[in-house]
C-alpha cells in the first residue's frame, strides 16, 4: 500500500507538515527549570472543585518556577458545549485567585467564542489558537503524517457494526473494542477506500496500534513515581467524522506544540495513559510529565460509605456553590491544599500568617488516592482564616459579595458601615480571636440581631425565671442601664438585680443549695441577653450593647417586656 498516496488522497488540502508546525511553535524561551502547565477544561458550564484543585496545581507549578500557566479550551465535543461557559470559568477561577498568563483568557463577554480559524480577540499568546475547535488543520497535519507512515487509517465501520462486535466480544468474554481482528478496516486497499468515499460513506481515522498487551512499559507520574502498564492494543479513533480529533489525539498534539512540561489532569485519565504514550511515540515526540490528581470523595450521608463527589447529588462539588454562599476564596484554597498536600498543614502551623504562595508546592507530597472532602472541616478552616482577617477586610469582602448576590444586604452593609466595622471587630485580634465567622450568608445570619428587620427570638427564655420576674429584671435593668459604665460596673448592676430578686450571684451557690434560690446570675443575664440579641449565646453582651447604642438597647428591652 502506498500510504503517502492515501494520505494525499484523504487530506488533499493539508500542505503543512508537523515540521512546519515545529517552526511556527518554537521551544519557549524560559529560564532553566521553568514549568509550562495548562488547564484544559471542556466548556460544559460546570466548574467543579476538581477543576480548581487542578488549576491550583498548574498555577503553583508554573509560577513558583517562573514558568507559564495557560488556558486551553477543549471544545471538540459540540454536544457538551455550553454557550458562555468560558467567561464564567474565567470569572470563577479568578475569584479563587487563579489567573492565566496565556491562552483563552480574554473571553470577557458572554458568548465570546471565536468562530473562525484566525486567532481571535478571545485569546493571548503565540502558541494558539487555544480553542481546539479552531485547530482542525493542525491536527489534520499530524494525522496526515501518521496516515502517510501507515500508522493510521480510515475506518468506515457503522455504529451498528461496532455494536455487534461489542456483543460478540461480551458473549465470548473478550475485551471490548476495535483491535486485532475486530479492526476490520485496517487493511482496506486504496481502491476500496476510494470507492467507499466516492459512494458517500463517512469515516473516522483510527490509529493502527502495534501494541501488545503482554508487554509492559513504564512511565513516571509526578505524584505516583514510576508506574508500569500494559501497552495499548486498541485502534483508537484519533479523528472524528466532524473533522475534529478525540481528546486522546488532541491533547497529545496540543501539549506538544504548546510545550507543556507538566500535564496536570484528573485520575480518571490514568487508564488511557497507554494510548497517550503510544501516540506521543508514534509522532516521535517526548512524553510530558503527567501528574494525575486524586479524585475528591465524601462520606455519603445515607450509606456512611466513601464515594466520589457527584455533580448530580452534591451541590458542594460545583465551585459556584462557594461563591454564591460567600466563602472567602482563600478559605476554600487553604482547605483544598490541606487535604491534597501532606506537608501543607505542618507548613501552615509554622507559618500562620504567610501567603499560601510562599509554600513550596511539590507534586511528590500530593495525595495519590481518593481524598476525603468534608464540608465541616472546610468550615473549620474558614473560621481560622477569617479569625486572622481585620474587621475592615471582612466588611469589604461582604460588601463585594452582597453587591453581586443580594442587593438588600448590600444596602444594609453600605448604610451601617461604622456599626458593622465594630461588629466584625468583636473579640478580634489578641491571643484567642473568636472563630465564628465562616462565609457571607452565615455571617449575615450570625449578626442579624443587630438589625430590627431581622431580629427575632431564637432561644427560649430561661425556665428558672418566671414571666413576672422576667419583666421585673428587664424593668430594673433598663432603669439602671448606663452605656458609660465599663464592663465590670455594668455587670455589678446585673449582680445587684440578681441578689435583689432572690437569685444566686454565684452559680455554684445555687448548685450547692438549689432550694435557697430561684436561679442564678446566668439565668438573669440570660434574660437580658435574649432580650437584646434574641439568643442565649452571643459575643460579649456589654460590647454588643456598646455597639447598638442606648436607644436600641432600650427598645429591645421594652419589646421583651411585652414578649
Q: State the minimum distance, in angstroms, from the CB of residue 54 to ligand GLU.
A: 7
Instruction: Based on the shown chain and the rule CB under 6 A, indicate whether residue 251 belongs to the binding site for ligand GLU.
Output: yes
Quote the least distance from Cβ 80 to ligand GLU, whole Å: 10
User: Which residue, 98 or 263, has its beta carbon nearer to ligand GLU?
Assistant: 263
Q: Which x/- pattern over 227-246 shows residues binding ligand GLU (rule: CB under 6 A)?
A: --------------------
> Cβ-closest residue to ligand GLU?
265
Q: Decide: 52 and 337 in contact? Cβ < 8 Å.
A: no
78, 38 Cβ separation under 8 angstroms: no
CB of 40 to ligand GLU, least distance (A): 4
Looking at 167-209, which runs of residues are DSSP E strands?
204-207
If you count them, how many residues does the chain have?
A: 563
Instruction: Please enumerate in sequence order all residues whose Cβ is within 8 A of that of 52, keeping only pairs 6 or more positions apart, or say none.
Output: 93, 96, 98, 319, 332, 333, 336
Cell 481585620, located at residue: 390
Q: How far apart are CA 477 and CA 485, in angstroms?
A: 13
Minimum CB distance to ligand GLU smaller for 263 or for 560: 263
Q: Whole-number minimum distance, CB 118 to ligand GLU, in Å? A: 23
What binding mask, one character per residue, do residues 12-41 give for ligand GLU by CB under 6 A, x or -? ----------------------------xx
Q: Which is nearer to ligand GLU, 165 or 222 (CB)?
A: 222
Q: Distance between CA 250 and CA 256 in Å, rounded?
A: 10
Q: Which is nearer to ligand GLU, 297 or 501 (CB)?
A: 297
CA 289/CA 232 separation, integer angstroms: 19
CB closer to ligand GLU, 7 vs 40 = 40
Closest C-alpha to 362, from 69, 67, 57: 57
Distance CA 453, CA 412 (A): 10
Nearer to ligand GLU, 42 or 371 (CB): 42
- What are the start-end ranges of the H helices in 284-390? 319-325, 329-340, 344-350, 375-387
The distance of closest approach from Cβ of residue 126 to ligand GLU in the complex, given in angstroms and rounded to an integer, is 21
Site string for ligand GLU, 312-351 (x = CB under 6 A): ----------------------------------------
In sequence order, the β-bridge partners of residue 207 are 152
C-alpha R_g of the chain: 33
Residue 42 touches ligand GLU, criterion: CB under 6 A: yes
Pick the closer one to ligand GLU by CB: 151 or 248.
248
- Smaller CB separation from ligand GLU, 258 or 385: 258
Grid cell 483491535 in the structure block, residue: 179
Residue 228 pairs in a beta bridge with: 218
| Number of residues located near ligand GLU, criterion CB under 6 A | 9
Strand pairing report for 216-221 and 102-103: unpaired
Near ligand GLU in 258-317, by CB under 6 A = 263, 265-266, 269
Binding site for ligand GLU (CB under 6 A): 40-42, 74, 251, 263, 265-266, 269
Amino acid at each position: 500500500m502506498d500510504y503517502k498516496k492515501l494520505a494525499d488522497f484523504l487530506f488533499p488540502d493539508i500542505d503543512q507538515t508537523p515540521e512546519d508546525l515545529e517552526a511556527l511553535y518554537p521551544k519557549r524561551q524560559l529560564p532553566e527549570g521553568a514549568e509550562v502547565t495548562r488547564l484544559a477544561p471542556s466548556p460544559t458550564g460546570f466548574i467543579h472543585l476538581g477543576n480548581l484543585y487542578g488549576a491550583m496545581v498548574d498555577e503553583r507549578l508554573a509560577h513558583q518556577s517562573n514558568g507559564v500557566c495557560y488556558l486551553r479550551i477543549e471544545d471538540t465535543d459540540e454536544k457538551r458545549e455550553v454557550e458562555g461557559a468560558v467567561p464564567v470559568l474565567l470569572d470563577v477561577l479568578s475569584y479563587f485567585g487563579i489567573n492565566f498568563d496565556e491562552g483563552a483568557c480574554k473571553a470577557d463577554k458572554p458568548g465570546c467564542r471565536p468562530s473562525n480559524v484566525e486567532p481571535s480577540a478571545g485569546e493571548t499568546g503565540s502558541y494558539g489558537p487555544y480553542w481546539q475547535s479552531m485547530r482542525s488543520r493542525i491536527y489534520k497535519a499530524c494525522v496526515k503524517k501518521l496516515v502517510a507512515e501507515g500508522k493510521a487509517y480510515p475506518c468506515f465501520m457503522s455504529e451498528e457494526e461496532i455494536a455487534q462486535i461489542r456483543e460478540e466480544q461480551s458473549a465470548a468474554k473478550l475485551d471490548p473494542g476495535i483491535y486485532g481482528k475486530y479492526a476490520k478496516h485496517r487493511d482496506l486497499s486504496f481502491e476500496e477506500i476510494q470507492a467507499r468515499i466516492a459512494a458517500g460513506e463517512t469515516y473516522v481515522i483510527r490509529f493502527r496500534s502495534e501494541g501488545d498487551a503482554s508487554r509492559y512499559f513504564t512511565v513516571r507520574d509526578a505524584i505516583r513515581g514510576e508506574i508500569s502498564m500494559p501497552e495499548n492494543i486498541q485502534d483508537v479513533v484519533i479523528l472524528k467524522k466532524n473533522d475534529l480529533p478525540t481528546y486522546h489525539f488532541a491533547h497529545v498534539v496540543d501539549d506538544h506544540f504548546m510545550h507543556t512540561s507538566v500535564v496536570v489532569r484528573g485520575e480518571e485519565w490514568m487508564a488511557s495513559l497507554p494510548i497517550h504514550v503510544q501516540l506521543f511515540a508514534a509522532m516521535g515526540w517526548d512524553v510530558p510529565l503527567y501528574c494525575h490528581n486524586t479524585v475528591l470523595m465524601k462520606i455519603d450521608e445515607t450509606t456512611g460509605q466513601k464515594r466520589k463527589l457527584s455533580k448530580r447529588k452534591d451541590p458542594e462539588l460545583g465551585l459556584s456553590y462557594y461563591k454564591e454562599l460567600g466563602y472567602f476564596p482563600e478559605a476554600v484554597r487553604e482547605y483544598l491544599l490541606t487535604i491534597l498536600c501532606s506537608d501543607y498543614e505542618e507548613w501552615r502551623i509554622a507559618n500562620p500568617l504567610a501567603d499560601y504562595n510562599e509554600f513550596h508546592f511539590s507534586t511528590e507530597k500530593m495525595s495519590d488516592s481518593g481524598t476525603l472532602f468534608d464540608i465541616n472541616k472546610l468550615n473549620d478552616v474558614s473560621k481560622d482564616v477569617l479569625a486572622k482577617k481585620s474587621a475592615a477586610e471582612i466588611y469589604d469582602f461582604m460588601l463585594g459579595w452582597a453587591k453581586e448576590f443580594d442587593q438588600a444586604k448590600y444596602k444594609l452593609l453600605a448604610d451601617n458601615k461604622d456599626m458593622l466595622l465594630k461588629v466584625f471587630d468583636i473579640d478580634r485580634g489578641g491571643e484567642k480571636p473568636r472563630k465564628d465567622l465562616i462565609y457571607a450568608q452565615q455571617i449575615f445570619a450570625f449578626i442579624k440581631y443587630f438589625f430590627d428587620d431581622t431580629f427575632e427570638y431564637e432561644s427560649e427564655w430561661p425556665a428558672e425565671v418566671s414571666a413576672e420576674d422576667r419583666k421585673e429584671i428587664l424593668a430594673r435593668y433598663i432603669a439602671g442601664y448606663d452605656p458609660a459604665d465599663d464592663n465590670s460596673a455594668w455587670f455589678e448592676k446585673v449582680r445587684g438585680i440578681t441578689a435583689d430578686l432572690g437569685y444566686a450571684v454565684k452559680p455554684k451557690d445555687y448548685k450547692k443549695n438549689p432550694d435557697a434560690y430561684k436561679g442564678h446570675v446566668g439565668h438573669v443575664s440570660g434574660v437580658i441577653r435574649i432580650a437584646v440579641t434574641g439568643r442565649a449565646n452571643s459575643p460579649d453582651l456589654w460590647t454588643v450593647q456598646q455597639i447598638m447604642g442606648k436607644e436600641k438597647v432600650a427598645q429591645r428591652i421594652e419589646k421583651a417586656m411585652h414578649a
